[in-house]
Amino acid sequence: MSNWIAFFAPPREQVLSLNVQAQAAKANRVRSQFEVLVRHLLYRFFHNELLASDDETRRVMQIGAVVAIPTMVISLFLSPLYHRPLPRPYWDQVGDHYFYVMYALLIMGAATVYEWDLLFPDLLDVFVLSVLPIASRRLFFARVLALAIFLASVLIGTSVLGLFSYPWLTEVPHFGRTFLAHAVAASLSGTFAAASFLALQGILLNTVGERVFRRITPVLQGGSIMLLLAVLLLYPTLAHSLRPLLMSQAGAVRWFPPFWFLGIYQRILQGPSAPAIFAQLARTGCAAMLLMLALVVLTYPLAYRRRVRQLIEGAASIDGPSRGVLPLHRLLHAIMLRVPAQRAVFHFISQTILRAQRQRVMLALYSGLALALAISGMLTLRLEANHIHPSLLPYGIRAAVPVMAFWTVIGLASVTSAPIDRRGAWLFGALIGRPGPEHMAGARRWITLWAIMVSVGAALTFRVFSPAALRTPVVLASQLLAAVGVSMLLTDIRLFPARTIPFTHLRTASITDFPLMILKYVVLFPVLVDAVVRAEGWMEASAIQLGKALLLVGAAHVLLLKAHAYTVRQSTLETPPEEGDEFPQRLGLRSR
């Protein structure tokens, strides 16, 4: 823009005297200490270990685009529906409004959970900033302002495209009122989600100790992500049943937060002519919003003070393995981990996976996604006599096993492949050289064991809620075999290219990653789930077919293990050392 302004500006003197240059020079603005603090803390929200990559700025821009574009895309898809000869039905329009308030709540909640460990001071803030001549009150208000700016930027980035595209592309009759209703409802919905998680963390920090808080944090993050994704994945079911749901006067409808802000949307848009249920929901939403903001105002300063004190006094010591776990370790060493290299990698993963923030958040995301997909695939709603009756679909119950196995394997493999601190990775090269098949086997058996436990646990849990036709011993045997087989084979395939110790290698992003991700998650995942469900029906036909499936799984597993061991040995013998490997003796020097 400055180039265009300079183009149309009148010509300046070709030779400027020192006096003219001195008069034209502008004094640099001096930033205050408070402004520097706010900028620093805000920078940490966007550039931290959660976004560790070769280009953090590009990663932030990618995430922002992925978050913002869906609202405009939905508006584009809705545009033809509003320009038909007949006007779009009223309750279909209500379903469209529901998407925008639901999406704002989902993104703001996910962003707050994603930045869970940065909402309050950490060790870096306390031991670096607290020793500087900065007043504690100024540091507190700087963090509050930086947090408010971060959440406001996420909320604006999430809703701004939908705010302008929906009224404009659909050409609704009352543009101004629709614009106002959309802006207010989406803003309140997102603010409520962020305030809810801030209040939750503030209450926990004030009521439980740091040791308990650290232990329950992964569970809270995973459960929160699961609930948010379940709301998103249940959108088609709820959007097509809004009228019977809202008119049923059921208690579950009144306590569903996205409906509160849908009531605010419709109340602003229609005024007193809106159905009575929307006025009731709007009042509940306003009351809940005020309650959450009050909780944040009351609990955040107290939690902030307690968090700083706990960091200064030192974290509570973490106990070693309990005596009850030692017999399990001995059993694993005798059955699965007979080689010392396998034991070393296996226990290294167990002790490392929850230590870093990036790994904890990734585990929460994948576990929440797995549960949300499993639940949304089997849950359906039936309305009878003004009462909502949830029921489970038989196909969804069968599909839950491969869904849980797939996302457990993919999630754990992605978490273990993400680096924690590569500065110590040279130690593995100094001790063992290049990893061999035994080291890869330790990682593979750790992921396989957890995938089997999760998928088998899902099969046994969902069996309790299954109809009588799915509780027979034959069905249970086929589901257990599917759980074990999918867990083993998926792990073998996913870790086939692995050549490094977990948590020690940074993979450089490639332009082919996105198409491969689409192929893996959008194409292969549904095909795998459908194939496993069909295979379960085939195995239930007779015991002979069940035995054949067992032999096929075992043979495929053995072949994949032998092929992987061969390729690892070949890469160990023939592949030259990586150009980026740093040895402490080299002191960062390069031979010319």
- Report the chain's mean pLDDT, rounded to a whole number: 82
What is the end-to-end Cα distance of the chain in Å, rounded? 45
Least confident of 311-315, 399-403, 408-412: 311-315
State pLDDT tens for residues 23-73.
Answer: 666 656 677 888 888 888 888 887 766 555 545 566 667 777 778 888 888
Residue 509 scores a pLDDT above 50:
yes
Tokens 């020793």 identify what position? 131
Q: What confidence score (pLDDT) does residue 55 get?
A: 53
State pLDDT tens for residues 184-204.
Answer: 999 999 999 999 999 999 998
Radius of gyration for the chain, computed over Cα atoms and rounded to the nearest angstrom: 28
Q: What confidence score (pLDDT) does residue 267 get?
A: 93
Q: What confidence score (pLDDT) does residue 590 get?
A: 44
Distance of alpha carbon 256 from alpha carbon 234, whole angstroms = 13
Q: What confidence score (pLDDT) does residue 581 get?
A: 46
Helices (H), 271-356: 276-313, 325-335, 340-352
Tell me the mean pLDDT in the region 144-164. Answer: 90
Q: What confidence score (pLDDT) does residue 487 get?
A: 93
Least confident of 239-253, 402-416, 465-479: 239-253
Q: Which of 80, 85, 83, 43 is nearest to 60 (CA)?
A: 43
Q: Which of 407, 377, 403, 404 is nearest to 392 (CA)?
A: 377
Calculate the CA 251 to chain-centre distance: 30
Least confident of 1-5, 175-179, 301-305: 1-5
Q: What confidence score (pLDDT) does residue 363 get?
A: 86
Spell out a b/e string for 203-242, using b for 16 or more CB atoms within 10 Å of the CB, else e: ebbeeeebeebeeebbebbbbbbbebbbbbbbbeebbebb
Q: What confidence score (pLDDT) does residue 580 get?
A: 45
The token pair at 370 is 């797995």
Residue 282 scores a pLDDT above 90:
yes
Prediction pTM value: 0.79
Q: What confidence score (pLDDT) does residue 449 get?
A: 93
Higher pLDDT, 226 or 453: 453
The per-residue DSSP string of 466-524 comes to S-GGG-SHHHHHHHHHHHHHHHHHHHHHHTTT--S-TTS--PPP-TTHHHHHHIIIIII
Q: What confidence score (pLDDT) does residue 522 get?
A: 77
